[in-house]
Chains A and B, each alone.
Chain A
Amino acid sequence: MVLKGFWWKILCMALLSYTILAGFLGVVPRRFILNESIRNLYFHVPMWFGMIFLLLASSVASILYLKKGKNRHDRFASQAANTGIVFGILGLVTGMVWAKYTWGSYWSGDPKQNASAIGMLIYLAYFVLRGSLEDPQKKARISAVYNIFAFAMLIPLLFILPRLTDSLHPGNGGNPGFNSYDLDSNMRKVFYPAVVGWTLLGFWITDIRIRISKIEEALDYE
């Protein structure tokens, strides 16, 4: 079968289709300022969840690489980080659009925005590092160490520092319109499947990229 191990990809398609249907047609709480944009919860927030899961998997693969020295762990780490950062950039840009219409401007120097931008830059340095090392073993080892550091930096940047200060972003400091969204059981029914669906899409793209890089490697080897 061409589509070996395809079940989770079918699950991904089903969950995302459900997200679109229930996400637009389902009942949401009425909130001033947010209005219908509250539905962005199903599309903006899962980008970040997807990114975190991909980067977590990436850093675990880096730890495994340092422990075992297997090539496939390095390959997984770099491709998962790649897709993770694409998700992060999408999260940042969708967040900016949402911010424009709820907070008043695309970028208001909010702690959450600044910290996540710094997090992205730390990861961009990971790719620069990978690109600048010629020797494959050296590249894999040094970038594995850096990748673990990058994930360890990302956690305080996204989840600790913004909470220590005032932020417009829900879940951080004071917030005008969103305080009780996490209590709404109607939204949960769409939000959790959306998170799983978008995350699976991220792993799907990662899977394709890993297989491409294997082919590239095999061709280089010849």
Chain B
Amino acid sequence: MNRVLHFVWFVLLSWPLAAQDPGAEMADVLRSNGKIFTVVAVVGIVLVGLFVYLFFTERRLAKLENRLKNK
């Protein structure tokens, strides 16, 4: 009986410890709300925008190079 009681006490006392143990704090809520995807979308738009801009800069430069070559 004493042993069972000890066991119950042990479980009850250690329960909060086991339940807590969150490790380091991470953006789990953000992720479960799906909001991290907003960030990914925003940064993705920035990146794609830059790529498009670079692409058009390349085209402009190529035109300039051609003009110079055909002079």
Q: Interface on A for B, CB 8 Å cutoff?
A: 2-3, 9, 13, 16-17, 20-21, 24-25, 30-32, 34-36, 204, 208, 211-212, 214-215, 218-219
Contact = CB atoms under 8 A, between A and B. Distances in A.
B23 interface: yes
B8 interface: no
A162 to B, nearest CB: 26
A24 B43 contact: yes
Given A24-B39, A25-B36, A211 B26 contact: no
B43 A211 contact: no
A37 B47 CA distance: 20
Contacts of A219: 68
A135 B68 CA distance: 25
Contacts of B65: 211, 214-215
B62 A20 contact: no
B36 to A, nearest CB: 6
Contacts of A13: 51
Given A204-B54, A215-B61, 4 more contacts: A2-B59, A30-B23, A30-B26, A208-B57
Interface centre among B27, B36, B54 (most CB of A within 10 A): B54
Contacts of A30: 23-24, 26
Contacts of B62: 2-3
